[in-house]
Structure 1
Amino acid sequence: RADVVRDMLGQIGEKHGVDPLLGLAVANAESAFNPNAVSSDGHFSKGLFQLLDSTAKHIMEKEGMEEEYTPFDPEQNADIGVRYLRYLHDLFNEETELPNNMITYPAANSSSLEKLAVAAFNAGEGRVASAQDRAARAGLDPREFENIEGYLPKTTQEYVQRVMAFKLDEEGATIGQFGDEL
């Protein structure tokens, strides 16, 4: 199952300009590559990327996707999940005003950008923007993920660490797989 998901996420990631290894790492952290997963936390997140129905439908509407949302269709769930990661990357790549009068600060570098997007995938962009605001008011650079991390819920801090560890594992597997060609 993981190999099929790897191939699919590679194609979807390239199509939407998201590092395929990041997509893989998020899917691994969210569902361990189980396309039929349903969260047990009461939020009823579903599928490979454990998307809330409201989030999936918002991204579909934003992206002009007209098909019906089917959360357990692995390809559709992955496509929406990766589009959501792209949206979050874009959101934290420049100063953006959110509907709740919060403002995102642009990430200082690609590593912080990736972590801000992953944190927002887990906790929501408003919570990450709020953490950036709190860091700025404390005199810290809110563009650096390490400076806002402490203002995020512990579960989100652990989630970002887990996703980054999975991504490192995937990078190692990819290098191992293609090592002779490099």
Structure 2
Amino acid sequence: MNYRNVLLAGLLTVHMIPALAAGPTADALRWRHEAQRFQQGSGVQQDFRKAYQHFCKAALAGDAESAFNLGWLYLSGQGVTRHPGRARTWFEQARQLGNPHGERMAFRLRTVAGESDSGCRQPNPAILTAAAGFGPPRIIRPSNKQIESLVQQVAARYAIDPQLVLAVMQAESGFNPGALSPKNAQGLMQLIPATAERFGVKNAWDPAENIRGGAAYLHWLMRHFSGKVEWVLAAYNAGENSVERYKGIPPYAETQAYVKKILSHYGKLTHPVPPERPGKAL
């Protein structure tokens, strides 16, 4: 593994510095509030430079929203000299701290090389590595035959029809193990980090782990929705909470098209409810 891949492997484990790992402190929230007052001129004279200084302190104390706001200040040039590279770095930090707006902006600026912010203490080196635009690590790219073999093994363990797993994979990534969506969904089964963590996937770029994570989620959904394939597919796309809220396929054009596309290949509306515990790994 070369030096770049070593850095990227470290990035994927996301070893945050202690101040960031703990999340925003009471001080961070107070600094963010002060920053917003100066940014908006709420009860004080509007001062973007002071807003920047307070956002800086809050971001370094682990506040994702403040990291995003620093990125926005650098992108818009408010209170600081416009600097897309620094904006990219702060958006990346916001993303890694769980801010969805940071995730979207980091993706939009993905072609911009990130740079450290000399006016504020430099973020975690792992964040700078991500913001440098290197993308995901070297991807293992098995053949379609190897992917099908992996699916057969994993699907048997989770008592999920392998044809359903393959149909979902086709819709999600087109069998591309290096697929990355604007929402940071990764790999063959397009696992977002929260879903990967939920089902014990440590490396979503590893095809075997990714397939296992996707199958584990389908197993959970199939039990949760009593084998209703349409509901399971809708939940895989839009989340189980959306399906529960609407008691069926949500009225989202993307989700409705997604379910229709998969069913056009799979064709089954019901699936046997799998046992609670998956079988042993093969």
TM over 0.5: yes
Distance apart, 1:7 and its partner CA: 1.4
Equivalent residue, structure 1, for 2:189 = 49
Equivalent residue, structure 2, for 1:26 = 168
Equivalent residue, structure 1, for 2:219 = 86
Q: Distance in 2 between matches of 1:12 and 1:121?
A: 18
* Higher RCO (C-alpha 8 Å, min separation 6): 1
- 1:74 paired with 2:214, answer no
Please give the root-mean-square deviation of Cα atoms over the aligned residues, in Å. 1.3
Equivalent residue, structure 2, for 1:126 = 241
Q: Which consecutive unaligned segments of at least 5 residues does structure 2 have? A: 1-142, 268-282
Equivalent residue, structure 1, for 2:253 = 154
The structure in which a higher percent of residues are helix is 1
- Letter of the 2:203 partner, please give it: T
- Letter of the 1:74 partner, please give it: P
Distance apart, 1:167 and its partner CA: 2.3
Listed one character per residue, the Cα deviations across residues 35-56 of structure 1 (whole Å, up to 9, x for unaligned) are: 11101xx311000000001111
Distance apart, 1:27 and its partner CA: 0.6
Q: Which consecutive unaligned segments of at least 5 residues does structure 1 have? A: 61-67, 94-109, 133-147, 169-182
Q: Distance in 1 between matches of 2:265 and 2:169?
A: 10
**Contact 1:10-1:20 within 8 A present in 2 as well:** yes
Q: Distance in 1 between matches of 2:251 and 2:186?
A: 23
- Size of the aligned set, in residue pairs, is 125
Q: Distance in 1 between matches of 2:188 and 2:259?
A: 17
**Contact 1:29-1:166 within 8 A present in 2 as well:** no
Please, which of 215, 229, 232 is the counterpart of residue 117 of structure 1? 232
**Contact 1:122-1:156 within 8 A present in 2 as well:** yes
Q: Distance in 2 between matches of 1:2 and 1:167?
A: 18
Distance apart, 1:114 and its partner CA: 1.2
**Contact 1:28-1:166 within 8 A present in 2 as well:** no
- 1:35 paired with 2:177, answer yes
Q: Which has the larger radius of gyration?
A: 2
Q: Distance in 1 between matches of 2:196 and 2:252?
A: 23
